[in-house]
């Protein structure tokens, strides 16, 4: 579980650095992208969306403000993974 979380963070961080380099005027937050990357990677590997939300919130000590976007990201990833990839 921890390697999947770390790999998702690392890939999203690298993607954010690349996007910030290609589009210098953009104001992408690398921390937010890392949180999204960890959530997406854990959702696709664990196949347990509610567990992913709980783990990401508890690992990163997020506030209630980030809970709704996190749930939406995990839900979209679950739909994509379960229904569109089959």
Report the chain's mean pLDDT, rounded to a whole number.
Answer: 89
pLDDT of 63 higher than 90: no
What average pLDDT does range 12-39 have in this prediction? 91
Gap between the Cα atoms of 15 and 35, Å rounded: 13
Gap between the Cα atoms of 56 and 84, Å rounded: 24
Q: Do residues 33 and 70 make contact, with C-beta atoms less than 8 angstroms apart? A: no
Count CB atoms within 10 A of the CB of residue 30: 16
Considering the entire predicted model, what is its pTM? 0.83
Percent of the residues in the chain that have a pLDDT greater than 90, as a whole number: 47
**How far is the first Cα of the chain from the last one, in angstroms, to the nearest whole number?**
24
């Amino acid at each position: 579980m921890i390697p999947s979380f770390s790999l998702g963070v690392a890939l999203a961080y690298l993607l954010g650095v690349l996007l910030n380099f290609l589009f210098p005027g953009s104001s992408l937050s690398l921390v937010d992208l890392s949180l999204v990357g960890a959530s997406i990677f854990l959702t696709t590997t664990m196949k347990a969306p509610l567990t992913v939300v709980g783990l990401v919130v508890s690992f990163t000590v997020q506030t209630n403000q980030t809970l709704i976007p996190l749930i939406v990201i995990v839900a979209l990833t679950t739909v994509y993974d379960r229904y569109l990839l089959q």
